[in-house]
Structure 1
Amino acid sequence: MIALVLAMVWTRRGQAITLALLTMFGVAAAVAAPAYLRAADRAVADEQVSTADAGSRSLTLIARQHDPRPGKANPDAVKADVKLTETGSSLAGIPGFDYVYAAEYATLGIEPTDKIRTRFVYRQDVCAHLRMIAGRCVLGESDIMIGPETAARAKLTPGSTLTLTYAFYNSDPAVAAFIPDGAPKRFLITGIYEPGDPADAYWGRHNYFGPDTGGRAGEPAFVTYASVGAMDHGAIELSLDGGAAPGALTVDRLPAVREGLARVQARATALGAGIEVDTGIPALLARIDDERSAAHRIVPVLAVCLVLLACLTIFLAVGYGTEGRRPELAVVALRGARWGQRWWLATGENLVAILLGTGLGCVAGQLLVDAFAAWRFPGLGADPGPAALRWAPFAAAAAVVTALLAERRQLGRPVAELLRRVPPAQRAASAIAAEAVVVLLAAVAVFQLFVSDGGLDGVGTLATGLVLVAAALIAARLLLPWATVFARRQLRDGRLAAAVAAFQLSRRPGGTRLFALLTASVAVVGYATCAVDVGARGREVQAGLGTGAARVVAVGPLSRQGLLAAVRGVDPSGTFAMAAVRLPATKGQPPVLAVDTAGLDSVAAWGGHPPDLRALRPATGEPVILRGSRLSLDMTSTGLTVGKPLLATVVLAPVGGPADSTVELGELRPGRHAYAFAAAACASGCRLKALQIGGRQGSLDLTGQITVHAMTGVSPGLFASASGWRVTVGGRLSAGGAGLQVAVTSLNGISSGLFVQPADVPLPLPVAVAGDVAQPSVPGFDGRALPVAAVARIPAVPGLGLPAVLADLDYADRAATDSMPVSSAQVWLSSSAPADVLDRLRGRGLVVISDTGAGQVRARLDRQGPALALWFYVIVAGLAVALAAGALILAAAVDRGRRVEDLTALRGQGLARVAVRRATLWTYPVLVGAAVVAGMAIALLGWWLTGWALPLAGLDPPALPLPSFPRVWTLAVAGGGVFVVLAGVAVLAGRRTLRAVR
């Protein structure tokens, strides 16, 4: 019996090979999905690790040691200190990490002011990670290395000597300086260094080379460990840094890293409060997990579609093949073969082909992923393994069950029906019932998807595949009967070629199934096109609108006016550079971006035509400018409460930056007095931000009236009217002949006091809003509520998305009353920025921290989980087209004999050769054309129902107006490509049939 089955396979080897190939496609999809996910996991981990900063790839254990000197600290506290040199080995528990010891404290002696300290640092093996610009590395106890900027400021060279003294920081607002506390020590400068790679994990999370005190770049003084101990010092910070070695954070080693990190944290907890664990590794691992989860949700959706499509194809192929063997099955039955033998002879041929296709699919799926990974993920590999085969048995079983269902109909028929040349029509009721079951399953899956809020697990994974297949079955049921109507009309009109072709499609029992298969295949391609197009455009929005501009340069802390002056000095016309600052965000409030609105049109990335935002900067009065290196305020104070003095403070902003200043005038004295103070930074002019009137902490029921007569460099006429000024809660303004009068009404519950400001900006501040923003105020730069009024609505705020608020930086700063530098200062650059723009910014005193380009962001997004997962959709689309092409070839091969007989007979009855040619060549291409149109429509329907659940922008998408629907032209291009391929296959198959017609 086996020999007979094998002989049958060989005799009809074309059909057997086709069925094996179709099975191979289905099994290959089941193998390729987990194999591709494995390769994508490796690529995701590699991308996240390669783009992470040093702090995210390292672990820092910090042990702060108390002052060990006699009489300086509690002996019990010193005894309780954790000695990393003794316990560090027990904490170095993460495999694959390299560990480095370090120690540091603050010193004075290089900088000319006690406001700026020098970091005095020992770091193990530091010489191997520095480039010596001049001199050599440190060797002895009295050797020291400094950075080039420090050397230039202090005019030091190798061979020079300097004296350093240990210092600690006194945070008392009245002091706010480093206090020397030790015996000075003399050092010899052995070299001038620069870091080899500041982003190397070796440097840990210490931010050695980031912005430092005094608005300068960080440049520690590196010494030997002997120097640290030899110098008279107090409290010291010891640290043990573990940096990930190459290959330590691959996807295979992440579980071991998690376990090691947990052990380190448990050990540190057991040691008590004397040690801290500072690491960004958990956040890095969380990002990797999120990217992997997004990919694992996206890939199976179309993998299931392809398996369902393969089963439908196998059903069609086996059904076609069994119909062609109906006379053979009748002869077997007439010869008295038992039921089991009949089943074996009928199914054995297909089972052998399916078994062969299963083996080929297991190999082909992995090879396909290997080849794709070598192209898309060079150097990483696909890591083939048996885990990729876990779904192959299920796909093979589905293929077997599908084949048996397709053969059951013919095996259950009487011999008389099997001997008929034209098979009887299938009972419509049973076919509709089967299709109704598929439609019901699709409805249940979609309902489950909505109920679970897009949960792509369980039934939700099947939703897309069931929707596409169910819609294809419905389309075939509704559209193909019209072929009969069309054929009759063509026959009445004498168009014989079209009539013959239409009858061929409508009267063949497998025509409906073939059309459904082609439609479903095109729908899978269309759905993949939707996902790829929406995902790519979403990443474009994230890279452009999400970044804010072509390049975003983060700079060190400085004043807002200093930032504006520096950027305007580089680009006075605002054509390629724009200052930008994010205001402090609070919970429940929309984020606020303040920019130099003059550059919004030419610099900001809007993703389209920039809106008209000129209303953000209406015409206002001129700011109040004080000029002189020594300034004075002439004021009269009356009505003061005895024992409850009022304190006056003036907040000034130098017109060119880089730092605002707060000058305390002290207690207001009864009567008229001139309150003078030194203001070297105001020689070129300082803008008056605010005059602050307050009391001492805890004071209540303060009263008084202050009259401002004059300020240095300010026209007396400005104080003659209260209309040019405003006051905050707690005060009341009026004006008289003597000057501006400020009445203190009540400062109870107002810890910051009241502020008198020039009314040189409109309040509420005009802003543009995106999204649902209904708040009447937002947190200002000074932390106080800043009233705002929406004068424009925009789709999204560049760099923030929605909901968000956009304001003018100059106006927002002038409305603030603080003098604090901003730590979130940025310079946005357009694509037309000159190549040396960073040097120009540095020349204006800005400290460049980072330079992020929209192109870099786009490239990074293209290497993340969702983008990598969508490449699998490209593979699935190609396999879907191959399945459809295989089904066309099989249908043409099975129908060829009957069609040749029919057309030969019609030819003998006088049908013209031209009509035969047209009927033969264009039957299936017309079917393909209809399937392409229906399939693309079904793809849009499927995308509307299920596409929203795909995490194309990650599990936590950014608050940006991301596209949700594909562009029509992309679907048109994809549909045209599918039509060209399938129509070409159909024409080639028709030519072979035409050559056989006599």
Structure 2
Amino acid sequence: MGRLILSALRERRGEAALLALLGILVVAAAAAGPLYASAATAQAVAVEAANASAAEHAITTTAEIDAKPDAASAAGKAAGEVSPLLSRPGLTEVRGAMVTGTLVTAPAPAAPGASVPAGAEPVGGRAVAAALVARDGACAHLVLRGACPAQAGEVAVSAPTARELGIDVGTALAYRSADLPPVPVQVVGVYDPDRAPGGRTPLADPFWAGRAELTPIPLRPQNPVFTVTTTIDRLGPVTVTTTVDFLTPDRLTPAVIDELTRPVGARSAPGAGYTVRDGVFNLVRRVRASQAALPAPVLVGAGQLVAVAWAVLLLGLVYAAAQRRTQVAMGGLRGAPLRTRVALTAGPSVLILLAAAPVGLGLGWLLVRGLAWLVLDQVDSVPLDPATLVTAAAVSLGVLVSAVVAELRVHSGPVLDALREVPARRSGRVAGTVEVLAVVLAVAALTQSGPAADAVGDAGQVLPALAAALLAVAAGVLLARIVRPAAAGLGTALLRAGRPGAALAALYVARRPGTDRLVALVVVVVALLGQAALGWRATRDTVTEQARMELGAATVVTVRAPSRSALLHAVRQADPEDGWAMAAARERGSSGTTVAVDAARLARVAYWPAAASQLAAEAAARLSPRANDPVRVTGAELVLDVTVPVGQRATVPVTVVLEGPAGEQVAVVARLDPVPGRREQRLAVPACAGGEGCRLAWFSFPFSPDGIVFHRVLQRSPDAVVLDEAGMRAPARWRTEVGAESGVILLPSPQGLGLVYYPADPRHPDPDIRIQASDTALPLPVLVAGPPSVEQNGTVVRADAFGVLPRPIDIVGTAPVLPGVGGDGVMVDLATADRAADTFDNIADLQVWLSPDAPADALDRLRAAGLVTVGELAADELADRGLALRTGPGARFHLGAALLALLLALVAVAMVAAVDSGGRGAQLAALRTQGVAQRAVRAATRTGYALVVAVAALAGSLMAIPVWLVRPLPGGPPLAVVLPAVLVPAALALAAVALWVGGRLSRVDGLDLEEVR
């Protein structure tokens, strides 16, 4: 029996090769779908993780813990409290402890019996306020020159801190915290805040968990001073600030995301005193959104390709089996057993398909691996997972069974019909059932795709995704139902009209029972190709629009600047005419994205969403309402007119912080010695002389300045009164800390302004007591990305705005998306938010947004203004990245599958026409002998299948329009653009193949010979 089957295969080598190829393609398509979906999901996770901020890679907890017996024990106590509640599989726990204070260039021991306030600059020395930090594994994330602190008293400082203090490795210093005695320390290492191991910057390193107080920041002298916990113990603090952070792995995978979302025991928030920020929640939410959007289009595209390949395979089997009906019938008449006939009929196909299955699985894997190498740059490997193996096995089994059934059905008719070569009849009942089922499913899919789709629950997620395919199938089977009667009627009419060639072609189409299958296949393939092309174009347009909103402008340049205000000044200097550049700062925290922009330039530079409730110019005006004029000092000296009360025991250092002409921080310290009486304290501020001078930002005190009265603020060179008594005591001129109960009470009087400080916890007094010059709008005016209801329902009342504490906000407008913000966050005015932040420290990404018409030398102008450019990103580049997420991979795969389906349809057309060549050629030759004109025979030969395919392709092209209308994608292009560009070439290709096969048929069968008399 085996020899007979092998001999049958040798006899039908061409047919066997085609069947093997189609079998391989079916299994390859079945395997490629889940493999590509899995690879694209891994790509989406990696891209989302790479684009996430450092804060979104961590769950952070902060608490003030009793420092006894030591700082390490305090951190351990905090970890023991929060780890059982917040730790998740896959997260790494990092502990730390810190205190705030001042690093001074020389030990300054206090006089006996007198306390030394923090923040006071030592005589003959220099000081920088910086946190003293111990954090597990910190040195592994620093680029150090020197050594890592390993013993008590050893510290590592940042390069800007070293420059500010004029120190280097080996320098002896002192660290002072609050009113504690200073502790000697030695610099053993200097780290670079602009570089981190691995080529990234500390700002982007998830190890620092997005903490502004811990993250090394370029150009900031107040960067943390790293040490070990025993150095903190030497200070003898009552409490320490403990940090327990849970960090995601360096490389996120779908398996890690599953671990992060898996519940672990009963969760609850830590007790009072713990501040928790869960940035991982936002990251997981975005990853889950990408994962949810990916599989459906990929699997639908793969399913359509499998269905087309399967249909082509069965079509080829049926046509090939029909050519052997007479041979099989003769074998039965000659006494061949049924078993032998069945084996010879189905055996070759079974053997071929069994051999094709593993080859198809391997081909599918190779195709996906190649696609991953080309377009999925974050995917290292494509493993064969169980889902792929099960899918490939199920499809292989289904193809095998259907092939056997199809062949046996062809040979199941009467022997006489087989001997006479009468085409096998099909059951009209089965065909009618298939047609009704296709129409019912299409109607159900369209119903669930409409406005009622939200009400059908989870069941409504499957059919809407298949709506386009089901509608195309319904149209194909209905057109197939009428094509043969229509061809018969057309042939009769053409005969009556005296056109025998076209009539013969139409009548032959009407007589062939397999024509309807070919018509249905072509209609479905062309309609789905149109839908896939429209979907890909719509996806590109949608992703491009999303990229524009996410980026904010045509081009965004990431820069380094000393502060946010310095960035603002530099951009205005580079582009004084407000034409092409805008300063911006972007901060992605655990609660969303905050983007601060130079509102005056927003309308000219940024992209603006069409769905916004107001124009860009209107929104910009609302973001920067009028506030108090800033207090400006334009002289070379600042003078404080103050009265020191009787009974003051210690010198009170008063730090005056100003914003310099270029946005830099200018800080001077007035030492109010305990000598009673009124006096003028003169402070040199040469940077403020001339021009617009300096803006007064705040006064800072290390402890409560009880009894001191500030009468006036004056300036010298030139002389002027900056603030008189009335200005000093004006209630609207000063404010205390925003966002927390500061404990500072302002005491205005006819003579001026005084203040007193009552700490909420006397054990933990604030070493930085401030009063700020009130020259900004509060609450902070913001635009919120969200529905209009957010403006009224009070769901958003605070937002992160570059400070340690969230700020109260005033929502002045909403939009579904905002430039630079996307769909989750707020937009503020840069100058307003910067003044409300009360700090020159910056952890936000400093950027310059460029309009599409920015000059070619824009970057050179920015550098000339003092900015350091470190990166550049265009909206088109971001759109290309976006196509690796959400629906992008699915749309790309869907289009590729539709193009492959078109190739299979071309194969089917050529195969059907070629298989028919033998019998049809003999029939037409007989007609030619009987006197039918050569021209008519040639026309019948060449135009038969070409006409059928052309009509079917036209119908499929027209079906793409209702398919698109009932299942549109947002942002889709005009049908008049895509349909001619894709479907017309597809239809021409199909018709050309049929015409070419017809031409080959006429030459092979000798139908172009001289006319026979």
TM, length-normalised to structure 2? 0.68
Q: Does 1:120 align with 2:132?
A: yes
State the match for 2:530 in structure 1. Answer: 526
- Residue identity in the other structure for 2:227: V
Contact 1:137 1:191 in 2 (8 A): no
User: What's the CA shift string for 1:902-946, capped at 9, x where partnerless?
Assistant: 222233345555554454344434433333332233334334444
Please give the alpha-carbon distance, in whole angstroms, between the structure 1 residues aligned to 2:150 and 2:96: 16
By how many angstroms is 1:334 displaced? 4.6
Q: Give the distance between the partners of 2:408 and 2:993, measured in 1 at CA.
A: 30
For the 8 Å contact 1:577–1:829, the answer to whether it is kept is yes
Q: Secondary structure at the match of 1:417?
A: helix
Report the residue type matching 1:600 in the other structure.
A
Percent identity over the alignment is 27
Report deviation, 1:880.
1.0
Question: Are residues 965 and 339 of structure 1, via their aligned partners in 2, closer, same or farther at CA, if it must alter by over 3 Å?
Answer: farther
Aligned to 1:753: none
Counterparts of 1:774 and 1:207, CA distance in 2: 28
User: Does the 8 Å CA contact 1:547/1:798 hold for their aligned counterparts?
Assistant: yes
Deviation at 1:231, TM superposition (A): 3.7
Matched, 1:887 2:899: no
Residue 996 (1) aligns with residue 1004 (2): yes
TM-fit CA distance, 1:571: 1.3
For residues 433-832 of structure 1, the aligned pairs below 5 Å read 433-447=433-447, 450=453, 452=456, 462-479=466-483, 481-488=485-492, 490-491=494-495, 494-552=498-556, 567-579=571-583, 596-598=599-601, 600-604=603-607, 798-799=819-820, 827-830=848-851
State TM-score, norm by structure 1. Answer: 0.69
Q: Which moved more, 1:841-850 or 1:386-395?
A: 841-850
Classify 1:560/1:290 alpha carbon distance in 2 versus 1 (closer, same or farther; 3 Å): closer
Paired letter, 1:544: R
Residue 897 of structure 1 and its aligned partner are, at CA, apart by 0.6
Going from structure 1 to structure 2, the CA distance change for 1:940 and 1:233 (only over 3 Å counts) comes to same
**1:97-150 deviation digits (Å, cap 9, x = unpaired):** 8776644321214499579730212345555543356x6665664443322322
Structure 1 residue matching 2:513: 3-state secondary structure: coil
Change (3 A) 1:546 1:208: closer
Whole-angstrom distance in 1 between the partners of 2:830 and 2:63: 42
Say whether the 8 Å CA contact 1:771–1:803 is kept in structure 2.
Answer: no
| Separation (CA, whole Å) in 2 of partners of 1:218 and 1:912 | 99
Q: 1:207 to 1:836 in 2, by over 3 A?
A: farther
- 1:302 corresponds to which letter in structure 2? G
Which residue in the other structure is 1:637 paired with?
A: none
Amino acid at match of 1:973: A
Shift of 1:390: 0.5
Partners in 1 of 2:259 and 2:587 — Cα distance? 41
Counterpart residue number, 2:647:
none
Q: CA separation of 1:358/1:113 partners in 2, compared to 1, >3 Å: closer, same or farther?
A: same
CA distance in 2, matches of 1:341, 1:313: 27
Q: Does the Cα contact within 8 Å between 2:782 and 2:811 map onto a contact in 1?
A: no
Amino acid at match of 2:582: M
Show the counterpart of 2:180: 181
Tell me the distance in 1 between the aligned counterparts of 2:81 and 2:864: 47
Aligned to 2:705: none
- 8 Å CA contact retained: 1:204, 1:243: no
- Offset of 1:864 from its aligned partner? 2.3
- In 2, the alpha carbon distance for the partners of 1:82 and 1:467 equals 63
Mapping 1:926-941, distance limit 5 Å: 926-941=947-962
Q: Which amino acid aligns with 2:440?
A: L
- 1:899 maps onto 2:911 in alignment: no
Q: Which one-letter code corresponds to 1:36 in the other structure?
A: Y
Q: What value does the CA root-mean-square deviation take over the aligned residues?
A: 5.9
Distance change in 2, residues 1:211/1:574 (3 Å): farther
Query: 1:886 deviation in Å?
Result: 2.8
Whether the 8 Å contact between 2:346 and 2:408 is mirrored in structure 1 is no
Structure 1 distance, partners of 2:817, 2:261, is 39
The letter of the residue matching 2:850 is L
For the 8 Å contact 2:606–2:819, the answer to whether it is kept is: no
Tell me by how many angstroms 1:51 deviates: 3.6
Paired residues of 1:209 and 1:218 also in contact (CA < 8 A): no
Shift, 1:407, TM fit:
4.8
Give the match's secondary structure for 1:390: helix
Give 1:377-456 correspondences, 5 Å limit: 377=376, 380-403=380-403, 406-407=406-407, 410-423=410-423, 431-447=431-447, 450=453, 452=456
- State the partner residue of 1:131: 143
Are 2:155 and 2:227, in contact at CA under 8 Å, matched by a contact in 1? yes
Q: Secondary structure at the match of 1:82?
A: helix
Partner of 2:982: 974
CA distance in 2, matches of 1:396, 1:939: 31
Task: Spell out, residue by residue over 1:186-231, the C-alpha distance to the aligned partner (whole angstroms, 9 max, x if none).
Answer: 5457546444243475733163688899995762223355533434
**Which secondary structure state, in structure 1, belongs to the residue aligned with residue 551 of structure 2?**
coil
Cα separation, 2, equivalents of 1:307 and 1:818: 59
Instruction: Return closer, same or farther for 1:903/1:224 CA change in 2, 3 Å cut-off.
Output: same
Over 3 Å counting, the alpha-carbon distance change for 1:29 and 1:769 in structure 2 is: closer
Q: How many Å separate the matches in 2 of 1:908 and 1:427? A: 36
1:846-885 matches, within 5 Å, as: 853-855=874-876, 857-885=878-906
- Alpha-carbon distance in 1 for matches of 2:74, 2:786: 55
Q: Distance in 1 between matches of 2:963 and 2:77?
A: 63
Counterpart of 2:478, as a letter, is: I
User: Contact 1:130–1:193 at 8 Å: present in 2 too?
Assistant: yes
Q: Given residue 19 of structure 2, which amino acid in structure 1 is its aligned partner?
A: L
The one of 125, 143, 153 equivalent to 2:164 is 153
Aligned pairs (5 A) from 1:16-31: 16-31=16-31
Which runs of 5 or more structure 1 residues have no equivalent in the other structure? Answer: 70-74, 168-178, 633-651, 662-676, 690-710, 715-756, 949-961
Instruction: Sort the Cα spacing of 1:883 and 1:231 in 2 relative to 1 into closer, same or farther, 3 A.
Output: same
The secondary structure found in structure 1 opposite 2:100 is strand
**In the aligned structure 2, how far is the partner of 1:440 from the partner of 1:826?**
55
* Match of residue 312 from structure 1: 311
Note closer, same or farther for the CA distance 1:215–1:840 as it changes in structure 2 (3 Å cut): farther
Query: Would the aligned equivalents of 1:554 and 1:848 in 2 still touch at CA under 8 Å?
Result: yes
Whole-angstrom distance in 2 between the partners of 1:213 and 1:4: 80
Within 5 Å, give how 1:37-186 maps onto structure 2. Answer: 37-57=37-57, 64-68=64-68, 82=76, 102-110=96-104, 113=119, 117-123=129-135, 126-132=138-144, 138=149, 141-158=152-169, 160-165=171-176, 167=177, 179-186=178-185
Partner of 1:358: 357
AA at the equivalent of 1:536: R
Q: CA deviation at 1:237?
A: 3.8
The one-letter code of the counterpart of 1:995 is R
Q: How many residues align?
A: 854
Which structure 2 segments of 5+ residues have no match?
Answer: 106-117, 121-126, 640-657, 668-681, 697-719, 724-773, 802-806, 1007-1013
User: CA deviation digits over 1:7-54, x for unaligned, max 9?
Assistant: 444433433433333333222222222222232233333333444444
Secondary structure of the structure 1 residue equivalent to 2:517: helix
Cα deviation per residue 1:725-769 (whole Å; 9 max; x = unaligned)? Answer: xxxxxxxxxxxxxxxxxxxxxxxxxxxxxxxx99x99xxx99999
**Amino acid paired to 1:872:** F
Helix, strand or coil at the partner of 1:180: coil
2:93 and 2:247 in contact (8 A); partners too: yes
User: Which amino acid in structure 2 is aligned with residue 35 of structure 1?
Assistant: L
For each residue in 1:859-891, what CA deviation from the matched residue of structure 2 results, as whole angstroms up to 9, or x when unmatched? 431322432233332442243123213322321
Contact 2:559 2:869 in 1 (8 A): yes
Maintained 8 Å contact 2:782/2:827? no
Q: Distance in 1 between matches of 2:588 and 2:282?
A: 23
Question: What is the letter of the counterpart of residue 899 of structure 1?
Answer: R
The corresponding residue for 2:227 is 223
